[in-house]
Amino acid sequence: MHHRLLPVLAATAALALPASAAQAAQPKAGYYEGSGVFFKIAKFSDKAQLFRLSLSEPLTCADGSTIQDTLDTILIMGPKVNRYGRFRYEKPGSTLFKGRFVTRTQATGKLTRTVGDCTASISWTANLKTGGIPIPTA
């Protein structure tokens, strides 16, 4: 009896997985914030896209010193979030920001940034913020 049940359970599990993965792949529009990253996902059509990117991370330089780096940019016609919940923004030679939505309100990814001879490479997790744009602190 068990040898007949196993293929049925495996097929049922395989059918259930795409539904949950598809739901996680379609993020909610809004502002997402995590340690060193802040970005906005907008929906101008049926596809979500990266609209704003703000980064703040320490860079380690070749001489061993550390400098604080910031980037804040609006991405007109920014990269779209694909059907698997993945997105990627690249400015060749300086910035690679890529991520994947693990739920509709949480994304994880990697940031690599180079300014001169200073670099940073971090993994990040960001969550949807309901309060909108944060008020900058002096």
Pairing of strands 86-91, 66-74: unpaired
Per-domain boundaries in the chain: 2-129
> pTM of the predicted model, to two decimals?
0.74
Q: Phi and psi for 99 in degrees, rounded to 5?
A: -160, 180
| b/e per residue 115-126 (b: at least 16 CB within 10 A) | eeebebebebeb
pLDDT range class, residue 26, cuts 50, 70, 90: confident
Q: For residue 81, what are its two tokens?
A: 């979030």
pLDDT score of 11: 52
| CATH match for 2-129 among 1.10.760, 2.40.128, 1.10.3470, 1.10.260 | 2.40.128
Residue closest to 124 by CA, chosen among 104, 102, 94: 102
Percent of the chain with pLDDT over 70: 76
Residue pair 61/117 in contact by the 8 Å Cβ criterion: yes
